[in-house]
Chain A
């Protein structure tokens, strides 16, 4: 047992020394992701608020059976920005909120019951005030609720708010003017009523509130997340997967230099070899995450960005990092096993990670992609990692609520590691 432990320790020692003496590799793994997260977050900070996004999944719960509800539904369905799902009007608001915080829909809109009737009643009262001098104290305040997933950009939620505000204002005006038109037949009433009172304030006509609420687990409201909360998880996942370049290169280097062949003539189980590398790179991934976390917490504030907020979420985040690292290590073992040369492994490894990150939603949000890409995205391990990070950071999920993503990541890692190891073992220059 002690001898076996000594053998494992020897492999760990070897892999650790080999890794930490590879300065270029260390730069790729540590400095580049840190520089990337600073640069991208800084650049995106402004564009984050104004980027035109398309085909956002929106859910509408229209409990109003009148004209307003129908018109809003029609208006949103006509918009090129949204992919609308309309719930049965007997559905519960709580189920809509659950669908939004879980990420099924990015935005949820709730139009309350009898909205059109209340709007009409209010308009009548306003006209009565205008023409009859009554007070406006009994006006009913009408609320349209908008629930937004924390991972959606605030600009898009504001676009929905603006759209509804514009439409409700237009609708109110139509009601008011139709009432004015009716009152025009009694011109005397107008002049006498205007004589003794001040002109009504136009703001009094606006009795519709559109309430924007960013919701997390259990429908709890939160502040809109900023670009930092989006970018730190996204580039952490990217950085973790970028170990593929270094890991696969180290496998091929050992194969090419002959040390792998020598190791195969020494008596120890062959899985020690890959597991010792995996352990070292798992450690690297945790260090990468801690480095990016430090950059997010301390460096961002120095360059005028918001600090990354993670308080109370460190343990679930570390859990996500470990699962994502297992997926990345497995994929690296696969690339290293399948590739024949160092050049193949580094080029294929790097390019494939950029592609997987693109379809996984690191560069562009998944909901803004064409439909086919959205489907493919669900198969990208970077997407699983990213969603797990968003669940923890933005949606306040605990470990038990992100297990599905973590199972996928770990399963992917184990399967690819086994395939890569078997393939690499057979591909050894001497095993023809």
Chain B
């Protein structure tokens, strides 16, 4: 059985008019069904721009992006129900409780009442938030917010999940719950596109990587494809150098 192509990026170019900087330059990427794909690179090399373009949040200058065969952003309404997005910002309502946040987003995903409640309870339980479901999110710890942020992104059972630094600034326990949860999702058939600066975490989670630098792809493959490196960090530093990027 051939693997389904989930994301196809062809010759993607994005230039920001405000800075006149070419953020992404002729990028080509294919992400297949079941991939745990890590998009890595130093700051300002085009990772977040690529994620935004894939999510249909920005228009690009040239090239094309197809998700499940539909052109983005033109056919975004077809694509939106099929993917989930976990942004780097905690995209939650701090004056609503965890339960209320899930209720709102679940209804917006179009999940019907009974299914939504049972799904919410299950996810809150799985991610250790059930006890805290009636607390305002503004009173949650950083780790709890990150877990809830993930739950919101996956509650409609997306086939493709985009994660932009989903574990930034949290404790080891919360990080472990999140990574275990993501691996579980992947085992259930969800394809992951993940960005992070935590290379240890990326190595633990991802099966394939692309490294971007200066808007261009400088590596694509698995760690096994890179010869004479012991870790993802070694590979990364050998590709991008040790100079600080600002």
Q: Which residues of A contact B (CB under 8 A)?
A: 3, 6-7, 9-11, 13-14, 17-18, 21-22, 257-259, 261-268, 428, 430-432
User: Hey, which chain B residues are within 8 Å of A21, CB to CB?
Assistant: 95-96, 136
Task: Give Cα A86 to B153, complex, Å.
Answer: 73
Closest CB in chain A relative to B189 CB, distance in Å: 20
User: Hey, which chain A residues are within 8 Å of B56, CB to CB?
Assistant: 264-265
Q: Which residues of B contact A (CB under 8 A)?
A: 16-18, 52, 55-58, 77, 80-81, 83, 85, 87-96, 100, 103-110, 112-113, 136, 152-153
User: Hey, which chain B residues are within 8 Å of A258, CB to CB?
Assistant: 87-91
A6-B110, A13-B104, A14-B104 given; name 19 further pairs at CB < 8 Å: A6-B113, A9-B107, A10-B103, A10-B104, A11-B108, A13-B107, A17-B93, A258-B87, A261-B91, A262-B152, A262-B153, A265-B57, A266-B80, A266-B109, A267-B109, A267-B110, A431-B57, A431-B58, A432-B16
Task: Give Cα A259 to B89, complex, Å.
Answer: 8
User: Hey, which chain A residues are within 8 Å of B136, CB to CB?
Assistant: 21
| Residue pair A267, B93 in contact (C-beta under 8 Å) | no
| Residue pair A13, B103 in contact (C-beta under 8 Å) | yes
User: Hey, which chain B residues are within 8 Å of A18, CB to CB?
Assistant: 93, 95-96
User: Hey, which chain A residues are within 8 Å of B113, CB to CB?
Assistant: 6
A-B residue pairs, 8 tightest by C-beta: A258-B89, A10-B107, A258-B91, A267-B80, A262-B91, A21-B95, A430-B57, A14-B104
Closest CB in chain A relative to B245 CB, distance in Å: 20
User: Hey, which chain B residues are within 8 Å of A265, CB to CB?
Assistant: 55-57, 80, 83, 85
| Residue pair A267, B87 in contact (C-beta under 8 Å) | no
Q: Which of B105, B113, B152 has the most chain A CB within a 10 Å cutoff?
A: B105
With CB as the reference atom, state the residue of chain A lying closest to B107: A10
User: Hey, which chain B residues are within 8 Å of A13, CB to CB?
Assistant: 100, 103-104, 107
| Residue pair A261, B110 in contact (C-beta under 8 Å) | no
| Residue pair B109, A430 in contact (C-beta under 8 Å) | no
User: Hey, which chain A residues are within 8 Å of B81, CB to CB?
Assistant: 267
| Residue pair B52, A430 in contact (C-beta under 8 Å) | yes
| Residue pair B58, A432 in contact (C-beta under 8 Å) | yes
Contact of B87 among A3, A262, A266 (CB under 8 A): A262
Task: Give Cα A234 to B115, complex, Å.
Answer: 50
Closest CB in chain B relative to A4 CB, distance in Å: 8
Task: Give Cα A267 to B18, complex, Å.
Answer: 29
User: Hey, which chain A residues are within 8 Å of B85, CB to CB?
Assistant: 262, 265
| Residue pair B18, A259 in contact (C-beta under 8 Å) | no
| Residue pair A3, B93 in contact (C-beta under 8 Å) | no
A7 with B107, Cβ < 8 A, contacts A266-B80, A432-B16, A432-B18 known: yes
Task: Give Cα A22 to B92, complex, Å.
Answer: 15
User: Hey, which chain B residues are within 8 Å of A264, CB to CB?
Assistant: 56-57
| Residue pair A263, B108 in contact (C-beta under 8 Å) | yes
Closest CB in chain B relative to A276 CB, distance in Å: 11
A3 with B57, Cβ < 8 A, contacts A18-B93, A267-B77, A267-B80 known: no
User: Hey, which chain A residues are within 8 Å of B100, CB to CB?
Assistant: 13-14, 17
Residue contacts A-B, CB under 8 angstroms, 22 given: A3-B110, A6-B107, A6-B112, A7-B107, A10-B108, A11-B104, A11-B108, A14-B104, A17-B95, A18-B95, A21-B95, A21-B136, A257-B91, A258-B91, A262-B91, A262-B105, A262-B153, A264-B57, A430-B57, A430-B58, A431-B58, A432-B17
A266 with B57, Cβ < 8 A, contacts A18-B95, A257-B90, A259-B92 known: no
Task: Give Cα A143 to B93, complex, Å.
Answer: 70
User: Hey, which chain B residues are within 8 Å of A6, CB to CB?
Assistant: 107, 110, 112-113
Closest CB in chain A relative to B20 CB, distance in Å: 12
Contact of A17 among B92, B96, B107, B110 (CB under 8 A): B96
Closest CB in chain A relative to B61 CB, distance in Å: 12
User: Hey, which chain A residues are within 8 Å of B57, CB to CB?
Assistant: 261, 264-265, 428, 430-431
Closest CB in chain A relative to B74 CB, distance in Å: 15
Closest CB in chain A relative to B236 CB, distance in Å: 26
Task: Give Cα A173 to B41, complex, Å.
Answer: 101
With CB as the reference atom, state the residue of chain B lying closest to A6: B107
With CB as the reference atom, state the residue of chain B lying closest to A259: B91
Task: Give Cα A264 to B76, complex, Å.
Answer: 10
| Residue pair A14, B96 in contact (C-beta under 8 Å) | yes
With CB as the reference atom, state the residue of chain A lying closest to B81: A267
Task: Give Cα A52 to B238, complex, Å.
Answer: 83
Task: Give Cα A18 to B80, complex, Å.
Answer: 25
User: Hey, which chain B residues are within 8 Å of A257, CB to CB?
Assistant: 89-92, 94
Q: Which of B55, B77, B89 has the most chain A CB within a 10 Å cutoff?
A: B89
Closest CB in chain B relative to A223 CB, distance in Å: 48
Task: Give Cα A203 to B95, complex, Å.
Answer: 75
User: Hey, which chain A residues are within 8 Å of B105, CB to CB?
Assistant: 10, 262, 266
Task: Give Cα A259 to B90, complex, Å.
Answer: 8
Task: Give Cα A258 to B110, complex, Å.
Answer: 21
Q: Which of A6, A18, A263 has the most chain B CB within a 10 Å cutoff?
A: A6
Task: Give Cα A14 to B104, complex, Å.
Answer: 6
| Residue pair B58, A266 in contact (C-beta under 8 Å) | no
Task: Give Cα A113 to B56, complex, Å.
Answer: 79
User: Hey, which chain A residues are within 8 Å of B103, CB to CB?
Assistant: 10, 13
User: Hey, which chain B residues are within 8 Å of A14, CB to CB?
Assistant: 93, 96, 100, 104
User: Hey, which chain B residues are within 8 Å of A432, CB to CB?
Assistant: 16-18, 58
